[in-house]
């Protein structure tokens, strides 16, 4: 008898105490609804946040009318922007977060508002995404918790719930692809993620989370000039990469390469970033056989010439990656004339030995390239000399562009490894440089001709002036001797009218 | 040789009675004194004007007065047309020497008080020709449509726009719109080759007729006492004139060959103004003065004040024969000399400052 009475007393006290703590939860748990069930696991519940924290009302009141009275501050179910604003009341307040023992950033709300997701939704009344769209509502878990929809292994599906929905996405941006998840699953990152590796890159690793910006926004982590550093956050992390058995020096090599300098230093957006060769959502290293195709997306002519060249079958047979064999990959240096031929720095001699036809062709092509370079410099020097002499030679200077163009064309034609074809292109350049040099030489000759001409003209004018001076003196002497300084012209018939 | 000249002279005389003309010209005398040298600057200015007309006509054969083609046509003249470089260079150098010579001529006339009665109209026409000469310079400067000329014209017409009331319409009239564009080039070309030459020719004819009619003025100081020496205008003075012209021609040729007039870069209205733009040297003293005037002087805008002062000074200078009553009565007026020296020193000083800045 005493024991059941004791149990009853404990239950009553516990019930009172629970009611006193949060009558909302007690009541809703009694109803057995989903929010109260989820709330039991919610990170907020663990940190002492009550239902009234978001919904308002009086959690101490046992009477439902009083507890959910507007006078008690009950707001019900927030909707639209009020949701995020409600979250921001705590999450944008660093002191409040600290008092709850949560050491997380407090700029999420501000970032979300500035992000691409913070734009106005179709109805124009609220922003596209509220906090709850990604984090859930009553069962919010820490990001690191595998159960959270924003945890590394689940976030991909979460993003895809909108971004793979073509009908939905096109209402905001019809040009935005919707196959990111599909591509991601084919990537190294995607397959590892699917296999349960939370360390590999997923959506937020590259795009960020609350402050996601359009890839066209220069501040975005996936804007072309920012991509290499975004990838390097993981790929330059030696400890992390060691666990996958891949090197961590790609960024350092790339940054010093012709592509890296063009993109990162010269800010040339046409230059390739990591994703240009590896893909972005479907990132994977290009296979040996597809390297020339990948490089060929930009270097189309070179790739085309190479594919038709005798080297193609030889490289295929040797299992050599096409472009990479000569140019390298991440550390691609600017192509120089020294790479051609048989001298120091030659790449041809790596495979071609002295005396074989390839060796001879390489030597001949190098001679041709050198002759074009020498002819171009000579023409340039003559043009500069003519300009320094003050001659108008803008047209010849302009034509030098054709010579530069021919040199570029020759450099491309190298990839055909066809000596006569190369000679024809070089010949075109030589014709231009020769014509320019002729014109510049004529200008320089004209410069000297002008000086000689001036000398002759000056001499004639001076002789005329001296003769005139002597004539005046003779005239005035005659005048003084003849008629006391009176007027008179030497050829005048003096006796006619006087 | 001499006999052959006599024969030719006789042949001509038989047909057109050249003897009479020579005798008529022989009756005109030029005073000879220690300031006679200044008489020659009028002739030199005339010679340079003739060169301007001749080289200008030659340039006109190839020049194209449009925004798209002006620069290229001058490039063509300088690189492809036979002696085009020489003609263009002489035109540019001669233009500058013309202004210089005209200024020297004007100051010599001023200091010798040669503007006094009865030569007031000669002075007026001369001054108007000098102003037209500056107009020739300003309009011609833009015609190559290069960067420097474009921005200098922009600044120059901006300054014109500051003049109260008349300024804005004047600027719009000069530019043919709000900005310096192809329309400005077209009208500057029109002024340069049609309007100004027409006006100039009329003034020149009056000026020369008056000089022939009234003869050379003698400096004031020589009028009382001093033995007067003279020289026949023809042939003595004229031959000396021609001798000086030959020397000037030689100087021009040397300048044109050794210091060919640069063309620079084509004007780009969307480019920012290049550093160090400045007007031609003969506008430099005014340009530099405007820089020194504070943006506001009491209640008057500094630029307006500067332009007003220059305008008033120019007008006073133009009308000097009418207010220098002392000189007109033959009394030595030292104030005129002091003003003249002050103006010369001022112009030289500010031109040098402008050049150095």
- Cα separation, B37 vs B18, whole angstroms: 29
Is residue A17 over pLDDT 50?
no
Sequence spans of domains, chain B: 48-144+187-221+233-256, 284-357
Do A278 and A384 belong together in one domain? Answer: no
Q: Which residues of A touch B75 (CB under 8 A)?
A: 392, 394-395
pLDDT of residue B221: 64
List, for residues B170-192, the tens digit of each pLDDT value.
Answer: 999 999 999 999 999 999 999 99
Do A232 and A349 belong together in one domain? Answer: no
> What is this structure's pTM?
0.64
- Cα separation, B34 vs B2, whole angstroms: 34
CATH of B48-144+187-221+233-256, one of 3.20.20.80, 1.10.10.10, 3.40.50.150, 1.20.810.10: 1.20.810.10
- Cα separation, B78 vs B66, whole angstroms: 18
Is residue A353 domain-resident? yes
Q: Where do we find the tokens 């500051």?
A: B162
pLDDT of residue A3: 47
Do A268 and A349 belong together in one domain? Answer: no
- Give the number of A-B residue pairs with CB atoms closer than 8 Å: 80
Q: At what angle do helices B84-111 and B120-142 cross, to 10 degrees?
A: 150
List, for residues A402-459, the tens digit of each pLDDT value.
Answer: 999 999 999 999 999 999 999 999 999 999 999 999 999 999 999 899 889 999 999 9
Is residue A172 domain-resident? yes
CB atoms within 10 A of CB A2: 6
- Cα separation, B247 vs B48, whole angstroms: 12
Q: Which residues of B touch A395 (CB under 8 A)?
A: 75, 79
Q: Cα distance from A432 to chain B (closest Cα, Å)?
A: 19
Do A161 and A279 belong together in one domain? Answer: yes
List, for residues A278-303, the tens digit of each pLDDT value.
Answer: 988 988 877 766 787 889 999 999 99
Is residue A298 domain-resident? no
Is residue A468 domain-resident? yes
By the CB < 8 Å criterion, does A354 face chain B?
no
Do A365 and A258 belong together in one domain? Answer: no
Do A273 and A342 belong together in one domain? Answer: no
Instruction: Give the B window 244-283 contacts with A, CB below 8 Å.
Output: 246-247, 249-250, 253-254, 257-258, 260, 262-263
Do A148 and A275 belong together in one domain? Answer: yes
Question: Going by DSSP bridges, is the β-strand pair B300-301/B296-297 parallel, antiparallel, or unpaired?
Answer: antiparallel
Do A277 and A381 belong together in one domain? Answer: no
ipTM computed for the complex: 0.80
Nearest CA in chain B to A460: B250
Do A379 and A478 belong together in one domain? Answer: yes
Strand partners for B297: B300
Do A398 and A273 belong together in one domain? Answer: no
Count up the domains in chain A and report the number: 2
Q: Cα distance from B330 to chain A (closest Cα, Å)?
A: 29
Lowest mean pLDDT among A235-239, B108-112, B188-192, B332-336: B332-336
Out of A251, A285, A319, pick the residue that ends a domain: A285
By the CB < 8 Å criterion, does A279 face chain B?
no
Is residue A55 domain-resident? no
CB contact under 8 A, B13 and A493: yes
pLDDT of residue B270: 86
Listed in sequence order, the residues at least 6 apart from A294 whose beta carbon sits closer than 8 Å to its beta carbon are A277, A286
Q: Which residues of A touch B250 (CB under 8 A)?
A: 458, 461-462, 465
Mutate to test the interface with B, among A489, A490, A498 (most CBs of B within 10 A): A489
- Assess contact for B77 and B70: CB atoms under 8 A: no
Backbone angles phi, psi at A47, to 5 degrees: -95, 15
Q: Which residues of B touch A462 (CB under 8 A)?
A: 250
Mean pLDDT confidence for A172-194: 93
By the CB < 8 Å criterion, does B238 face chain A?
no
Six token digits for residue B277? 């733009």
Do A345 and A241 belong together in one domain? Answer: no
Is residue A137 over pLDDT 60?
yes
Range of the domain at A461: 337-483
CB contact under 8 A, A461 and B26: no
Instruction: Give the B window 63-122 contacts with A, CB below 8 Å.
Output: 75, 78-79, 85-86
Is residue B62 over pLDDT 90?
yes
Mean pLDDT confidence for B17-43: 83
pLDDT of residue A354: 86
Is residue A156 domain-resident? yes
Six token digits for residue A180? 């990111």
- Cα separation, B60 vs B145, whole angstroms: 15
CB contact under 8 A, A395 and B79: yes
Is residue A374 domain-resident? yes
CB contact under 8 A, A464 and B257: no
Do A274 and A359 belong together in one domain? Answer: no
Is residue A116 domain-resident? no
- Cα separation, A228 vs A216, whole angstroms: 15
Question: pLDDT category, A14, cuts 50, 70, 90?
Answer: very low
Six token digits for residue A112? 């979300």
């Amino acid at each position: 008898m005493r024991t059941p009475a004791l149990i009853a007393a404990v239950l009553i006290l516990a019930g009172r105490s629970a009611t006193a703590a949060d009558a909302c939860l007690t009541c809703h748990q009694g109803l057995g609804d989903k929010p109260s069930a989820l709330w039991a696991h919610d990170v907020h519940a663990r940190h002492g946040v009550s239902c009234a924290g978001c919904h308002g009302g009086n959690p101490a009141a046992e009477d439902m009318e009083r507890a959910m009275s507007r006078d008690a501050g009950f707001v019900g179910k927030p909707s639209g922007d009020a949701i995020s604003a409600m979250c921001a009341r705590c999450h944008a307040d660093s002191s409040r977060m600290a008092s709850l023992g949560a050491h997380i950033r407090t700029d999420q709300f501000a970032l979300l508002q500035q992000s691409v997701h913070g734009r106005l939704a179709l109805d124009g009344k609220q922003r596209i995404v509220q906090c709850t769209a990604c984090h859930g509502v009553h069962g919010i878990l820490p990001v690191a918790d595998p159960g959270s929809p924003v945890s590394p292994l689940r976030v991909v599906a979460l993003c895809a719930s909108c971004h793979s929905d073509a009908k939905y996405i096109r209402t905001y941006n019809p040009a935005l692809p919707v196959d990111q998840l599909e591509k991601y699953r084919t990537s190294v990152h995607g397959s590892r993620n699917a296999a349960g590796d939370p360390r590999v890159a997923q959506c937020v690793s590259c795009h960020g989370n609350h402050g996601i910006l359009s890839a066209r926004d220069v501040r975005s982590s996936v804007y072309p000039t920012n991509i290499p550093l975004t990838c390097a956050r993981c790929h330059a992390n030696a400890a992390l990469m060691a666990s996958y058995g891949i090197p961590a020096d790609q960024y350092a090599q790339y940054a010093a390469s012709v592509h890296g300098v063009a993109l990162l230093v010269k800010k040339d957006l046409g230059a390739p970033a990591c994703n240009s060769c590896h893909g972005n959502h479907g990132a994977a290293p290009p296979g040996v056989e597809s390297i020339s195709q990948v490089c060929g997306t930009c270097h189309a002519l070179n790739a085309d010439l190479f594919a038709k060249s005798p080297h193609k079958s030889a490289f295929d047979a040797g299992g050599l990656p096409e472009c990479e064999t000569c140019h390298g990959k991440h550390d691609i240096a600017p192509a120089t004339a020294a790479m051609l031929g048989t001298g120091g720095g030659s790449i041809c001699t790596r495979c071609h030995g002295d005396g074989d036809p390839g060796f001879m062709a390489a030597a001949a092509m190098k001679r041709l390239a050198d002759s074009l370079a020498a002819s171009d410099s000579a023409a340039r020097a003559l043009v500069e000399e003519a300009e320094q002499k003050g001659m108008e030679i803008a047209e010849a200077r302009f034509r030098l562009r054709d010579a530069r163009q021919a040199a570029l064309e020759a450099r491309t034609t190298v990839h055909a490894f066809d000596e006569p074809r190369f000679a024809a292109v070089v010949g075109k350049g030589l014709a231009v440089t020769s014509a320019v040099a002729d014109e510049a030489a004529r200008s320089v000759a004209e410069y000297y001709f002008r000086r000689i001409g001036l000398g002759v003209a000056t001499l004639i004018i001076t002789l005329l002036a001296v003769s005139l001076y002597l004539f005046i003196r003779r005239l005035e002497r005659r005048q003084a001797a003849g008629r006391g300084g009176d007027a008179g012209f030497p050829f005048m018939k003096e006796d006619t009218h006087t | 040789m001499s006999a052959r000249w006599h024969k030719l002279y006789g042949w001509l005389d038989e047909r057109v009675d050249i003897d009479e003309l020579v005798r008529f010209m022989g009756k005109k005398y030029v005073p000879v004194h220690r300031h006679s040298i200044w008489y020659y600057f009028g002739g030199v200015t005339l010679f340079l004007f003739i060169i301007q007309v001749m080289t200008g006509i030659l340039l006109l054969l190839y020049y194209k007065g449009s925004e798209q083609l002006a620069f290229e046509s001058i490039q063509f003249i300088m690189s492809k047309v036979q002696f085009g470089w020489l003609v263009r260079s002489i035109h540019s150098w001669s233009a500058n020497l013309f202004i210089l010579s005209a200024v020297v001529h004007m100051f010599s006339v001023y200091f010798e008080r040669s503007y006094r009665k009865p030569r007031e109209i000669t002075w007026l026409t001369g001054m108007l020709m000098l102003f037209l000469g500056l107009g020739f310079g300003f309009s011609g400067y833009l015609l190559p449509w290069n960067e420097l000329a474009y921005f200098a014209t922009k600044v120059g017409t901006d300054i014109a726009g500051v003049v109260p009331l008349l300024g804005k319409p004047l600027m719009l009239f000069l530019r043919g719109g709000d900005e310096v564009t192809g329309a400005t080039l077209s009208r500057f070309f029109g002024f340069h080759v049609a309007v100004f030459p027409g006006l100039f020719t009329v003034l020149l004819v009056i000026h020369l007729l008056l000089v022939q009619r009234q003869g050379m003025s003698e400096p004031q100081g020589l009028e009382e006492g001093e033995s007067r020496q003279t020289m026949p205008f023809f042939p003595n003075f004229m031959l000396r004139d021609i001798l000086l012209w030959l020397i000037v021609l030689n100087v021009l040729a040397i300048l044109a060959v050794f210091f060919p007039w640069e063309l620079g870069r084509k004007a780009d209205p969307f480019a920012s103004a290049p550093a160090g733009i400045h007007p031609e040297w003969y506008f430099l003293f005014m340009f530099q003065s405007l820089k020194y005037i504070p943006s506001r002087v009491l209640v008057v805008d500094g630029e307006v004040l500067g332009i007003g002062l220059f305008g008033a000074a120019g007008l006073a200078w133009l009308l000097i024969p009418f207010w220098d009553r002392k000189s007109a009565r033959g009394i030595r007026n030292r104030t005129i000399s002091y003003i003249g020296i002050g103006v010369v020193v001022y112009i030289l000083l500010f031109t040098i400052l402008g050049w150095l800045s």
